[in-house]
Chains A and B, each alone.
Chain A
Amino acid sequence: MPLLSVQRLSKQFGVHWALREVSFDVGAGDVVTLFGPNGAGKTTLVRLVATLGKPTSGVIVLDGRPLKASAASVRQGIGFVSHQPLLYPDLTAHENLTFFARLYGLTESRPRIDALLGRVGLAHRADDPVRQYSRGMQQRLSLARALLHDPRLLLLDEPYTGLDPVATDWLNRLLAELSQQGHTILMTSHDLQGGAALASRVLILAGGRLVFAADAASLAPGELAAAYLAAGRVATEGARDAGMTADGLRGAP
Chain B
Amino acid sequence: MTTTREETRAPAPPITTETTRRGGLALYLAQVGALVWKDLAAERRTKEILSAMLVFALLVVLIFNFAFDLRRVEMDLVGPGILWVAFTFAGILGLNRAFALEKDRGALEGLMLAPMERSAIYVGKLISTLLLMSIMEIAIFPVYALLNNQPIRLDILPVVFMGTLGFVAAGTVIAAMAANTRTREVLLPILLFPILVPVIITAVGATAIVVRGGGWDELAAPLSLLAIFDIVFLVAGFLVFEYVIEE
Chain A residues whose C-beta falls within 8 Å of the C-beta of B182 in the assembled complex = none
How many A-B residue pairs have C-beta atoms within 8 angstroms? Tell me. 142
- Chain A residue total in the interface (Cβ 8 A): 62
Near B by CB (< 8 A), chain A positions 103-159 give 103-109, 111-112, 115-116, 118-121, 129-130, 134-138, 140, 145, 147, 150
Given the complex of chains A and B, what is the CA–CA distance between A107 and B45 in angstroms? 25
Question: Which chain A residues border B8 with CB–CB below 8 Å?
Answer: 121, 166, 169-170
Q: Which of B10, B13, B31 contacts A103 (CB 8 A)?
A: B31
Which 10 A-B pairs give the minimum distances between C-beta atoms? A136-B1, A84-B106, A86-B110, A102-B34, A121-B7, A90-B42, A103-B114, A167-B1, A75-B115, A105-B22
Q: Does B181 contact A (CB under 8 A)?
A: no
Contact between B14 and A136, CB atoms less than 8 A apart: no
A107 contacts B37, CB within 8 Å? Answer: no
How far is it, in angstroms, between the C-alpha of A136 and the C-alpha of B7 when the chains are bound? 14
B30 at the interface (CB under 8 A from A): yes
Alpha-carbon distance A243/B41, docked complex (angstroms) = 57
Contact A100 B114 (CB under 8 A): yes
Cβ 8 A contact of B107, one of A52, A73, A86 = A86
Which residues from chain A sit less than 8 Å from chain B, CB to CB?
50-54, 72-76, 78, 80, 82-91, 95, 99-109, 111-112, 115-116, 118-121, 129-130, 134-138, 140, 145, 147, 150, 163-164, 166-167, 169-170, 174, 177, 181
Question: Do B15 and A88 touch (CB < 8 A)?
Answer: no
Contact check, B23 vs A51: say whether CB atoms are below 8 A apart.
Answer: no
B109, CB-defined interface residue at 8 Å: yes
Query: Contact check: which of B21, B38, B113, B246 meets A78 at CB < 8 Å?
Result: B113
Q: Is B231 at the interface (CB under 8 A from chain A)?
A: no
User: Assuming A52-B112, A72-B117, A102-B34, is B19 touching A108 (CB within 8 A)?
Assistant: yes
29 contacts between A and B (CB under 8 A): A52-B113, A52-B247, A53-B247, A73-B115, A82-B109, A83-B106, A84-B105, A84-B106, A84-B109, A86-B107, A86-B110, A91-B38, A102-B30, A102-B31, A103-B114, A105-B30, A107-B21, A108-B19, A115-B13, A116-B15, A120-B12, A121-B3, A134-B1, A136-B3, A150-B15, A166-B1, A170-B8, A177-B12, A181-B14
Partner of A91, one of B12, B27, B31, B41: B41
* Closest partner residue, chain B, to A109 (CB atom): B19
Residues of B within 8 A of A145 (CB): 110
Q: Is B21 within 8 A of A86, CB to CB?
A: no
| Smallest beta-carbon distance B176→chain A, Å | 16
Cα separation A99 to B111 with both chains bound (whole Å) = 10
Contact of B113 (CB < 8 Å), options: A80, A90, A121, A130 = A80
Q: Please, how many angstroms separate the alpha-carbon atoms of A132 and B3 in the complex?
A: 15
Given A86-B106, A87-B107, 15 more A-B residue pairs with CB atoms under 8 Å apart are A50-B113, A83-B106, A86-B109, A90-B101, A99-B34, A102-B34, A102-B37, A103-B111, A105-B31, A106-B21, A115-B15, A119-B15, A163-B1, A166-B3, A170-B3
